[in-house]
C-alpha cells in the first residue's frame, strides 16, 4: 500500500509526513508501551498510545517491520492520546533505516 502524504496545510514541519497505520512500541528506562504510528517523516512521527508520557521524555521508538529510532517526545495531546515524537537520529540515518525495510 503506498504512503499517503499529509496535506501541506496540516504539515508545518521541515520534512514531509506520510500517513500510515503501523504498530510500534515506545520504550523508556521505566517501561515499554504499545503504540500506533499515525504519520511519519525522517524527522519524527505522530503516535497514539494510552500511556501518560511527558514532553521531554527520551526513549526508543520501535516500528514493527521498519526499525528502531532514538526519540524524544516534543508534544502530548491528552484529548487525542497523541504524541509528537522527534527522532534523535539524523534524517539520513532515518531514511536509510526506512529504505532497508
Query: For 82-100, what is each residue's pLDDT tens digit?
Result: 899 999 999 999 988 888 7
Residue 6's pLDDT band (boundaries 50, 70, 90)?
very low
Confidence at residue 79, expressed as pLDDT on a 0 to 100 scale: 78
Confidence at residue 36, expressed as pLDDT on a 0 to 100 scale: 97
DSSP string across 15-47: SPPEEEEEEEEEE-SS-EEEEEEEEE-SSEEEE
Mean pLDDT, the chain, whole residue set: 85
Q: Model-level pTM greater than 0.85? A: no
Task: Kindly state the percentage of the chain with pLDDT values over 90.
Answer: 55
CATH of the domain at 24: 2.40.10.220
Domain count, the chain: 1
Residue 21: give the domain boundaries. Answer: 4-100
Amino acid at each position: 500500500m503506498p504512503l499517503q502524504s499529509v496535506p501541506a496545510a496540516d504539515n508545518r514541519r521541515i520534512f514531509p509526513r506520510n500517513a500510515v497505520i503501523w504498530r510500534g512500541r515506545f520504550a523508556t528506562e521505566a517501561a515499554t508501551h504499545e503504540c500506533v504510528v499515525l504519520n511519519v517523516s525522517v524527522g519524527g512521527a505522530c503516535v497514539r498510545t494510552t500511556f501518560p508520557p511527558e514532553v521531554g521524555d527520551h526513549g526508543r521508538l520501535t516500528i514493527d517491520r521498519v526499525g528502531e529510532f532514538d526519540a524524544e517526545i516534543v508534544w502530548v495531546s491528552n484529548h487525542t492520546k497523541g504524541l509528537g515524537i522527534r527522532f534523535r537520529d539524523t534524517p539520513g540515518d532515518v531514511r536509510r533505516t526506512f529504505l532497508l525495510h
